[in-house]
Structure 1
Amino acid sequence: MSELQLPERLTHLEASACLTELVARLPAGGPVCVDAAALRDFDSAALATLLALRRRLLQQGRALSLSQVPPRLAELVALYGVGELLPA
């Protein structure tokens, strides 16, 4: 399984550039795990970015999972009801 890392800051201001960077760093084939340990300053755009990355991977028949999810991000995932889409 390949791993990508989220930046420390991921708000609506950084979301588009972050998604572009994550997609550019996607390894060829196989499932992808996104490490969220560095994430400190974020809003719901972080979820939108992760969901957009998931859509890209699904188009390729690949899976996405999360690791080291900060508690506040886990709360947002639960609040928006996307836990099944973004498994930890």
Structure 2
Amino acid sequence: MIEREAGRLVVKVPMVMANARGLLDAGRSALQPGENVVDFSAVNEADSSAVAVMLGWLRAAALLRCTVKFAQIPAGVRSLAELYGVVDLLPQA
């Protein structure tokens, strides 16, 4: 689901409702001290659950006292985050 490549966490599956719980858990497990960059360049499909998963990763990072930044957020996910009024909560790498 998520692989560590060149210091980034690369999401390798569609960010859709069917994968949301697994992605949330995989992302939480992959977080390490310091800055974590989650890269969406390999995501070819995403729905509104992607926003929820991203916010969940941010909450987990806060509890672990580390940070998460997002790279190459899919345009549709960015549009949904803007619609929901949370785009400013999603730090970009």
Q: How does 1:1-88 map to 2 (within 5 A)?
A: 2-27=7-32, 29-88=33-92
Q: For the aligned residues, what is the CA RMSD?
A: 1.4
Q: Distance in 1 between matches of 2:43 and 2:36?
A: 18
SS at match of 1:75: helix
Q: Distance in 1 between matches of 2:91 and 2:73?
A: 10
Scaled by the length of structure 2, the TM-score of the pair is 0.81
Scaled by the length of structure 1, the TM-score of the pair is 0.85
The one-letter code matched in structure 2 to 1:5 is V
Deviates more, 1:43-52 or 1:16-25: 16-25
Q: Which runs of 5+ in 1 are unaligned?
A: none
Identity %: 28
- Structure with the higher fraction of residues in helix conformation: 2
Greater relative contact order structure (CA < 8 Å, 6+ sep): 1
Give the C-alpha shift of residue 7 in structure 1: 2.6
Task: State the aligned residue count.
Answer: 86
